[in-house]
Structure 1
């Protein structure tokens, strides 16, 4: 079975796509964004997938690719057009190549015109295609920089994308109106730039008079993407926003919640970190002493009272929130972070996991 997820970066309106093969557990990501490496790794982990490659549709001018960061985290290969001549790419792709992930593959189609190195990735059964900026929903990418050409783009779209089966779903690199997907049949008929009776002269005249300003991040994004997202200085990137994790081995869930595993917390409580971490139990008082018991050193601070009692916590020390299953304590971590606490984590699985792993408790039943 194919696993498919469409992800979004609101800053650049970029879509990132994850495709996985459930039989093998292998996956690829198309057009990852630098700032969302942690999100993407969390989703891969939660879905039980192993990232084998990142694929960029072109050298982007409005955001920096996450390809380099994901390679450092996952060991994935970096793939993009050979025509892009980017540094640090593991494989330069040309028209007709196949990119395999488990039992599935993507066919590579060269679709230059927006840039000279644009690619479209077509799923093996031609039910889905990922068009980057070559074809947007009721639009297309601009053609006035990075060796763009209206004529080349017109032929690319008609010969390589709109020639696919009418029912083929098309997933663009961006959308600025919240639209998520279109189809070959729709774009053949309704695309105002490339559909209907529009010919090459019509399209060229239209594109040559767009008069758009250059993307704001172009001078930063293009050089960075020609390095496949590798930072210029060693040590940059890879830990963006992860100062939260300097006090323990934490993982970030796809929902954005930092978690600590029960054994890791137990080691801190019993070891040199004893007393450093504030463990707060956000259950109700009767639950604190019920059959599950509570963690030694834990302090009862019910979720219903937490907002009004945040000031009782030491903002300089890490906080771990605990509840029965991890649901209420996840809500507590969000509340604490919004209150200004920086180093906050949720106990993964709550007291149910803690007891299942036979870790020390006070009170409760055997």
Structure 2
């Protein structure tokens, strides 16, 4: 099985990708709207087919990426039948199975944080995804969205703590950088409801958390009740990182680097400015250079960014694509928007027999 854990720093949300290594069918748990580009890039790079997104509940701190992922990949949207959300393709109930290839996740109702929270157990019970119910050495809050501390205590003890001690638990959030825990650890060490702590102990603690109101709740909850579908035009909801550039058919890698393919660049040399960030001896060396390329070595790029026209798209180039990828980061920090890295650099450019200039080539 293929498994990846990704993180959204703004909301401290974990998104989980699981896929069958044979069929390449994949599911994504708790996707974040602003991270859809990252997630689709990873899915593409791993050669997977996303068949479903699953939200563990109606989130109050971020907008789900379920709707946008459906537009981009054709994946189906799944969420708890008790969530109250509209627009899903499948509504999940306790005991249901979400299959991907030969593997599956079993749905367990674990209310308390909200009335429609679910957790997801892998078929061999080696891992479980607990949403905002059970966190690492903590739990989700229970003071809004039909929250119920007694329901949460019972769900954790009767369902999650009933899993094998070695079962790894992956929460929807962590605010300290912790990534995973286990059933055995939380049974013993969870300070809110582990060890000998009773239901009344837990309820008393939850009543006195004194937590601030979630900052995004007024935006996130209405959007998530529509499975992330925007009520306004998409551009009004999507921040700049989720809007695809329209100047060229660029794609974003999992590392967050915009790339352009050699064929398009060769066909549109006059439409862009090419910034070659290699050293001078490489620029004049045997790999040659792309016609019209401007040499600005990477170490000088930040100071010399003013020499580049901001009104024309920029393509950065180096030997293999690594230094030029960093060049796009530097130029973006300098305020450039229409820019991309040449995928594969000059090595790929020459291997494909594309046009070069200079005598050394």
* Per-residue CA distance 1:149-173 (angstroms, 9 max, x = gap): 1221111111110000000000111
Indicate conservation of the 8 Å contact 1:244/1:342, yes or no: no
**Number of residue pairs the alignment of both structures matches:** 360
> Deviation of residue 208 (structure 1)?
2.4
Indicate conservation of the 8 Å contact 1:244/1:343, yes or no: no
From 318, 328, 340, the counterpart of 2:335: 340
Partner Cα separation in structure 1 for residue 73 and residue 239 of structure 2? 14
* 122-131 vs 15-24, greater mean Cα deviation: 15-24
| Pairing 1:15-30 to 2, within 5 Å after superposition | 15-30=14-29
Partner Cα separation in structure 2 for residue 265 and residue 78 of structure 1? 37
1:256 aligned onto 2:256: yes
Indicate conservation of the 8 Å contact 1:294/1:364, yes or no: no
- Which residue is equivalent to 1:296? 291
Instruction: Decide whether aligned partners of structure 1 residues 103 and 291 sit closer, same or farther in structure 2, where only a CA change above 3 A counts.
Output: same
After TM superposition, the runs of 4+ consecutive aligned structure 1 residues lying more than 6 A away are: none
| Pairing 1:128-143 to 2, within 5 Å after superposition | 128-143=127-142
> Deviation of residue 239 (structure 1)?
7.3
1:48 aligned onto 2:47: yes
Indicate conservation of the 8 Å contact 1:58/1:117, yes or no: yes
Instruction: Decide whether aligned partners of structure 1 residues 243 and 3 sit closer, same or farther in structure 2, where only a CA change above 3 A counts.
Output: closer
1:10 aligned onto 2:5: no
- Which residue is equivalent to 1:227? 226
From 325, 346, 355, the counterpart of 1:360: 355
> Deviation of residue 75 (structure 1)?
0.7
Indicate conservation of the 8 Å contact 1:34/1:64, yes or no: yes
Partner Cα separation in structure 1 for residue 332 and residue 212 of structure 2? 38
- Which residue is equivalent to 2:112? 113
Indicate conservation of the 8 Å contact 1:292/1:352, yes or no: yes
- Which residue is equivalent to 1:60? 59
Q: TM (normalized to structure 1)?
A: 0.94
* Per-residue CA distance 1:25-55 (angstroms, 9 max, x = gap): 1111111111111111111112221111111
Q: TM (normalized to structure 2)?
A: 0.95
- Which residue is equivalent to 1:287? 282
Secondary structure class of the residue paired with 2:223: helix
> Deviation of residue 265 (structure 1)?
0.8
1:327 aligned onto 2:322: yes
> Deviation of residue 336 (structure 1)?
1.5
Secondary structure class of the residue paired with 2:208: coil
* 158-167 vs 348-357, greater mean Cα deviation: 348-357
| Pairing 1:165-184 to 2, within 5 Å after superposition | 165-184=164-183
Which ranges of structure 2 fall in alignment gaps of 5 or more residues?
Answer: none
Partner Cα separation in structure 2 for residue 308 and residue 23 of structure 1? 49
> Deviation of residue 204 (structure 1)?
1.9
Indicate conservation of the 8 Å contact 1:292/1:364, yes or no: no
